Amino acid sequence: MTTPPLAPYPATRLRRVRQADWTRRLVREAEVRPSDLIWSMIVHEGEGVIPVASMPGVERLSVKEAAKAAVRARDLGIPAIAIFPHIDGARKDAAGSIAADPDGVIPRAVKAMKDAAPEVGIMCDVALDPFTNHGHDGVVEGGKILNDPTIERLIEQGLMQAQAGADILAPSDMMDGRIGALRAALEGANFQDTLIMSYAAKYASAFYGPYRDAIGSAKLAGGQGDKKTYQMDPANTEEAIREVALDIAEGADMVMVKPGMPYLDILRRLVDEFRMPTYAFQVSGEYAMIKAAGMNGWIDEERAILESLTAFKRAGAAGIISYFAPWAAEKLG
């Protein structure tokens, strides 16, 4: 885009349009609405709610509470909820054997949430790490994360989630080829309408720390932070283009960039390049930073949250996955 020639000062005074709230609202380019939000939510296997220490204000919800939250999302105009499981450590193993258990907390939550609020889209994380005792997103052998055997497990998990009623499957594992395999499996099992949102450009980031605490994998091997053989190097942009190109070609309906704020340049690039519905995940560490600074009185928390969400929209996001979703929807609604 070329900028039209501007009359020199004083004919042009850019401050004129900023002089009052009404002028600012008239020229505003990006605005975040409740319909832009996907509520990121942790569910657990027990009863009641359990606070997450490193994410003040976020609680792990029981299935019953998750169903109530779905109703709340509907009433707030939030279109979708992304659920992630906290699994009892004693039930994890090296293979993540219970990842595709049709009686697990995720399928139970999906059913309860769809029963309570069928109008709300439910998105499931397709990944093994909440279920493995090493915290990695894949099958590990001799210290290596095996790509193709992992895909087989993800397919079982994804089909189970679709069977339970999940609307969107969101593989967050970063194995090569899993989008194509999952799409073929869904077609083969008559799930033509199940959406796939690919965590297409997911970086090996320090900003996932509180999440690993929330799902109970922080102290495990994978929780020490090294997922660098499958998640992307934070230094790379062109590689993100290749990742997203492949996932679109394999059948992704929507793509995601993760984390959010430190990667707004990637988000913009991908929107420009592919014109696909592109989402940003404002991850646990971003939540924790804003919250911690706010609680200390170091920043104005409410303004910082809304500014951060607006920044995603300005950068081109079709929507934002965020732990702030219910608070923000209430504020904006």
Ligand X SMILES: NCc1[nH]cc(CCC(=O)O)c1CC(=O)O
Binding site for ligand X (CB under 6 A): 125, 127, 129, 137, 172-173, 208, 211-212, 227, 283-284
Catalytic residue among 114, 202, 227, 291: 202
- Number of residues counted as binding Mg ion (CB under 5 A): 1
Are 266 and 272 in contact, with CB atoms under 8 Å apart? no
CA distance 284 to 212: 9
Q: What residue 243 binds from ligand X, Mg ion, none (CB within 5 to 8 A, per partner kind)?
A: Mg ion
Q: What residue 127 binds from ligand X, Mg ion, none (CB within 5 to 8 A, per partner kind)?
A: ligand X
**Which secondary structure element, helix H or strand E, spans residue 49, and what is its range?**
strand 49-51
Q: Cβ of residue 199: shortest distance to Mg ion, in angstroms? A: 9
Q: Cβ of residue 286: shortest distance to Mg ion, in angstroms? A: 23
Q: How would you class 236 by CB atoms within 10 Å of its CB: exposed for 0-12, middle for 13-18, buried for 19 or more? A: middle
Q: Cβ of residue 3: shortest distance to Mg ion, in angstroms? A: 37
Q: Cβ of residue 169: shortest distance to ligand X, in angstroms? A: 13
Q: What residue 203 binds from ligand X, Mg ion, none (CB within 5 to 8 A, per partner kind)?
A: none
Which spans in 165-283 are helix H?
Answer: 178-188, 209-214, 238-249, 264-274
CA angle 150, 153, 156 (to 5 degrees): 155
Are 133 and 90 in contact, with CB atoms under 8 Å apart? no
Q: Which is nearer to Mg ion, 174 or 283 (CB)?
A: 174
The answer to whether the annotation marks 29 as part of a ligand binding site is no
Chain position carrying tokens 């990842």: 99
| Residue facing ligand X at closest CB distance | 211
Q: Is 258 a catalytic residue?
A: yes
Instruction: Count Cβ atoms below 10 Å from residue 136 Cβ, excluding itself.
Output: 25
| Intra-chain end-to-end CA distance of the chain, in Å | 33
Q: What residue 232 binds from ligand X, Mg ion, none (CB within 5 to 8 A, per partner kind)?
A: none
Q: Which is nearer to Mg ion, 80 or 244 (CB)?
A: 244
Candidate residues 243, 250, 286, 301; the one interacting with Mg ion per rule CB under 5 A: 243
Q: Is 64 a catalytic residue?
A: no
Pick the piece of the chain touching Mg ion (CB under 5 A) from 31-39, 118-126, 235-243, 273-281. Answer: 235-243
Q: Rounded to 5 degrees, what are φ and ψ at 202?
A: -110, 125
Taking the CA atoms of residue 255, residue 229, residue 233 and residue 182 in that order, the dihedral angle to the nearest 10 degrees is: -10
Q: Cβ of residue 118: shortest distance to ligand X, in angstroms? A: 25
Q: Which is nearer to ligand X, 173 or 247 (CB)?
A: 173
Residues 191-200 as b or e (16 or more Cβ within 10 Å = b): beebbbbbbb
Q: Which is nearer to Mg ion, 243 or 301 (CB)?
A: 243
Catalytic residue among 92, 114, 227, 258: 258
Q: Which residues bind Mg ion (CB under 5 A)?
A: 243
Active site residue ranges: 202, 258
Q: Which residues belong to the annotated binding site? A: 243
